[in-house]
Amino acid sequence: MKPRLIIIDEIGKMELFSHLFSELVRDILAADTQLLATVAMKGGGLIREIKQRPEVHLFEVTRHNRDRLPVQILQKERIEN
């Protein structure tokens, strides 16, 4: 059974030192699977690639909005589907 959603808590500089992790993230992005991930604010390579993808929606997490973000993300998903 194929997962409908994959969650990754942090795609950042340290994680990307793992070639296996980087390839796994690329495979997930190429698949027909939803991905919810935290991504480093700064970075090149795969971090930049992720942020430049047309289907990616970025939300900045702050102390002030972090409790409202789950609802905002779900609302965006409902509007687009």
Q: Which domain range does residue 37 map to?
A: 5-80
In tens, the pLDDT along 48-66 reads: 999 999 999 999 999 999 9
Q: What is the CATH number of the domain that holds 50?
A: 3.40.50.300
Strand partners, 34: 5
pLDDT band at 76 (very low <50, low <70, confident <90, very high): confident
What pLDDT shows up at residue 78?
66
Asked if the model's pLDDT at residue 79 lies above 70, the reply is no
pLDDT tens digits, one per residue of 6-61: 999 999 999 999 999 999 999 999 998 899 999 999 999 999 999 999 999 999 99
Count how many domains the chain has: 1
- State how far the alpha carbon of 42 is from the alpha carbons of 13, 47, 54, 79, in Å: 9, 8, 18, 29
